[in-house]
Chain A
C-alpha cells in the first residue's frame, strides 16, 4: 500500500480556455453506476447540454458496480497502457476512490483548473474535500451530496412507530418480522447500512477515522456483529437473501414486502412517487443521532484518452445550472455541493424554489451529517459480512 503518486502525473496547469478548445469534438466515456433511472436521465441531459455548449459528447458507460471501471483502469495500467485509456470519467467515492488515488491511477490534481470549483463549499460541507477520511487533494470534483435516510409509506406505518436508531431496529424488526432488509453488502448502500450501525454501536467513534487493522477490526466490530446476529433472523426472508441494489429495495417497499428502506437520497420519496414507483404517501425520516453523509465525485483516470472533455463535463456538473437542476425533487433531489452565498441573486433563486414537494423533508428535519469511516472499514465489513452470510 506504499505506492506513492507517480511522477508521470502532474497537476493540470493549462488555462481553462485552452482546455475547452482541446475538448471540442471529444467523446467522454463516463463510467457511472447505471442502476438508477433518474441519474441516467440526468446524465443524458448533461450530455445534451455539454454537447450544445462545448461540442463534447458524453457516452454513459452503465456499470452495475463502480469497481468494474476501476478494474479496467488497473488492468490497463498493468498492461502498460499509459495513454488512450478506455475510461475518461468515473463517478466515484469511498473505497474505489481510495484504491485509485492510493495506486496513482488518477489524473490531477485538476479541480483548481475548473472555474466552477471556486463555487464549491469546502468549509460547510467537509465531505467535499475529505472523502471517507481521504483528502481529495484536487483529484476528484464533487457533484452531489448524499445523506442516509429511510423511506416508508405513511399510509401503512405511523411515523411515531418507526425505529429512531439502528439499535431500535432490532426491536422493531422482531415486532414486524420480514418487513425490514438492506441491499446486500457488496452494494454500496448495503455496506452503508452496516456502517451506520457500526457508527452508533462503536465505543469510540474516533477509531473509525483511522484505517482498520488486523489487530483492532475484530474488537471494534464485535458489537456490530452481535447486533446484526440478533437482527438478521427478523429480516426479510429470514435474512437468508438480500436485494441487489437500492432500486430493488425501493421496489420491495412499493410492493409492500418491506416497510422501511434505507436510501442515500433524502429526496427518494418525492422522486419515486412522482415517477410512479412509490405511492404518493411515501415519506422519509432520519435517525435521531444523525446519519452518514458523503459526497459523490467524478475523477479522471491517469491514462484517460479524453481528459479535456472529462474536465469540461466535471466543470459543467458543478455549474449553478446543473446543480439547481439536480436539486429539483423530481429530477434527482440531490443536495448541492456549492456554497450558495457565492452565487448571484438569480442563480440562488433557482435553488430556493425546489424544495416544496410534500414528500421532501424540511431543512429542520435533516439531522447533522456523520462523516464516513476510513474506506478500510467498509472493505473489511463487506468481506466479513459475505463470510457470515454465505451458506
Chain B
C-alpha cells in the first residue's frame, strides 16, 4: 500500500489538471459535443481576438503580472539584504508568517479600503491638508493601468517570497559567506547581493515562478482591485464562463487556454532573462567595488518593502475598524457612530460559512498530510532518491492557471453528476493544499536524525511503530506548521470553490468576493475580517499546541 503512495498522490494531483486542461482545450477549438459542437474550428479564437477590449486586457495581464513579480522580488531581496545578519532579520521572520496565512481576498479588500478615493488615507488628510470635502475624482483602485492591482499583489507576494528566501538562507551557509565578504571589506547588504543572493535565487526559483504564474492569472485580486472594462484576461474568461449564453463558452475557453500560454511563455521568458541578469551580476561582482550607490538604493527599496509589510497589516486592521462602524461618512477620520449591529446581524451566516470553510480546509489538509507522510515514509523505507522531476510535479498546480483547467473540471463533474458536492470541492482544494503541505513538511521530515529510527529499530520496533511513536511525535511542530499552511491555502481558494461548488458550497472567500461587488463596506469588512482571522487562529494554535503538549520536553517544543 505504502509503495503506491507516490502514484496515488500524483494521480490525485495531476489527474484533474490534465483532464481539465483537455476539457478546456476542446471548446477553445470549437469542440464541445454536449453542446452539439463536433467540429474543430478557429472561430473561438477569432471571436476572442476581435473582442473590443482584448488587446488592452492582454497588455494589462502581462504588465500587472510581470510588474508585481519584479517589484515583489526586488522588495524581498532588499528586505533580506539590509537585515541579513542583524536582529531585523529575526523580526522579519516573525512578522511574515501571519501575512502568508492571510487570504489574498482579505488583503485586497482591506487595501482597497485604505487607498480608495474615499479610503482611510484620503480621510486622514482631508479636508485639513488636501482641501477635499469630497473624495477626489480620480481612480486609486480599479485604475485602468492596473497599478492598484499590482500594489495589492505586491503586498502579498513580497511576504511570500521573503519567507521563502529566509527559509533558503539555511541551505546556503549565509553566515559564513557574509563573514568572508565582510573580511574583504564589503558592507553587509552588498555582501548579501554579491555572494548570497545568487545561491538563494537558485533555491527560490520555483516559488518565484509560482508568484509570477499567480500574478498573471489570478481572478480574485483582479476582481477586487483591477479595472473592469476591460479586466485582465483571467477575469474576462471567468466572466464569459458565467454568462448564460453558452456560445460564450467557446471564446471563454480560448481566453483560458491563452491564459495558460501566457503563463508558460511568461515563465519561459523569465527563465531566459535569468541568463543576462546573471551575467551582469557576475561582471558586477568581478569589478569588486566595495562602496557605491547600491547601499542607499537597497536601503530605500527595503524601506518600500517595510511599507508593503506595514500596509498589509494595516489592510487587516482597517477591516476590523469598518466592521465596527455604523455611520462613517467621508471625510470623517473615524466613524461617527459605532455599533455591533452589523456583527449581530451577520453572526449566524458568518458562523455557518466559517464552519463550512473550516470543514473543507480541515479535511483537505488531513488528506494532504496523510498522502505527504505516506510518500515521505515510503521514500525513507525504500531509500529512494527524489529527483527534480518530483519537485516540478508538485509545482504544477501552482504554475498552471486555475482558470485554464477548472472549466474543464466543471464540465467533467457535471457529466459525472458530482458537481456541487463537498467531495468535489475538497478534492479541488486538495490539488492546491497538497503541494504546500508537501513542500513545507518534506525538509523537516528528511532532516530528522536517522539515528532515532535506527535506535528504535535496534530495540525491536517495527517500521510502523517507529513511524507512529518516534517520528510523528518528534515532528509534531513541523506537522502543525504544515497543517496551518495547508489550512490557510484552502481558506483562500476562490475559483476552485466557485467552479466545483456549483453555488451550493460557498465559503467565507466566495462570500467575501460576492459581497465585494456590493457596496456595504461594513458587511464586507465583517466577512473579510473573519476570513483573515480563521487561518491566523489555526496558525497560532499550531505554534502553541506543541508548547503545551511537550511542556516537559524542551527539545520538542
Contact = CB atoms under 8 A, between A and B. Distances in A.
Interface in A234-264: 236-237, 240-251, 254-257
A389 B56 CA distance: 12
B31 to A, nearest CB: 14
B326 A257 contact: no
Most chain B CB neighbours (cut-off 10 Å) among A184, A279, A389 = A389
A256 B330 contact: yes
B34 A37 contact: no
A69 B327 contact: no
A254 B514 contact: no
Interface string A58-91: 0101111101111110111011110010110000
A34 B515 contact: yes
Interface string B506-519: 10000101110111
A242 B228 contact: yes
Given A72-B503, A86-B502, A87-B503, A37 B523 contact: yes
B187 interface: no
A31 B492 CA distance: 23
Given A240-B144, A256-B330, A64 B139 contact: no
Contacts of B515: 34-35, 62
A41 interface: yes
B118 A86 contact: no
Given A78-B34, A390-B52, A99 B244 contact: yes
Contacts of B52: 386-387, 390
A72 B249 CA distance: 12
A25 to B, nearest CB: 17
A52 interface: no
B519 A247 contact: yes
Q: Is the interface of B mostly helix, strand, loop or mixed?
A: loop
A276 interface: yes
For chain B, the bracket of interface size reads 35 or more
B134 A257 contact: yes
A391 interface: yes
A36 interface: yes
A322 B502 CA distance: 29
B523 A64 contact: no
Contacts of B139: 237, 240-241
Given A80-B34, A241-B142, A244-B517, A67 B329 contact: no
Interface string B409-434: 01100110101100000000000000
Contacts of B134: 255-257
Most chain B CB neighbours (cut-off 10 Å) among A34, A41, A250 = A34
A75 B520 contact: no
A75 B133 contact: no
A241 to B, nearest CB: 6
Contacts of B417: 81, 84
A273 to B, nearest CB: 10
Nearest to A257: B135
B255 to A, nearest CB: 15
A44 B353 CA distance: 14
A128 interface: no
A241 B349 contact: no
B138 interface: yes
B117 A257 contact: yes
A265 interface: no
A277 interface: yes
A245 B517 CA distance: 7
Interface residues of A, number: 61
A29 interface: yes
Nearest to A67: B244
A227 B517 CA distance: 28
Contacts of A62: 506, 511, 514-515
B227 A241 contact: yes
B162 to A, nearest CB: 33
B114 to A, nearest CB: 15
B21 to A, nearest CB: 19
Most chain A CB neighbours (cut-off 10 Å) among B134, B228, B410, B520 = B520
Contacts of B142: 241
B216 to A, nearest CB: 20
Interface string B112-148: 0000011000000000000001110111001010000
A163 interface: no
Contact of A251 (B138, B410, B519): B519
Interface in B324-371: 326-327, 329-330, 337, 339, 345, 348-349
B329 A65 contact: no
A131 B517 CA distance: 26
B414 A76 contact: yes
Contacts of B118: 251, 255, 257
A276 B327 contact: yes
B35 interface: yes
B137 A178 contact: yes
B6 interface: no
Nearest to B59: A391
Contacts of A100: 244
Contact of B419 (A67, A86, A246): A86
A248 B522 CA distance: 13
A100 B504 CA distance: 20
A36 to B, nearest CB: 7
22 contacts: A34-B514, A37-B523, A61-B503, A63-B514, A64-B514, A69-B503, A78-B34, A81-B414, A86-B420, A87-B503, A99-B245, A184-B229, A237-B138, A240-B144, A242-B228, A248-B519, A250-B519, A251-B521, A276-B339, A277-B519, A386-B52, A391-B229
Interface of A: 29, 31, 34-37, 41, 44, 59, 61-65, 67-72, 74-76, 78-81, 84, 86-87, 96, 99-100, 178, 184, 236-237, 240-251, 254-257, 276-277, 279, 386-387, 389-391
Given A62-B515, A276-B522, 7 more contacts: A61-B504, A64-B513, A75-B410, A75-B414, A248-B517, A390-B53, A391-B230
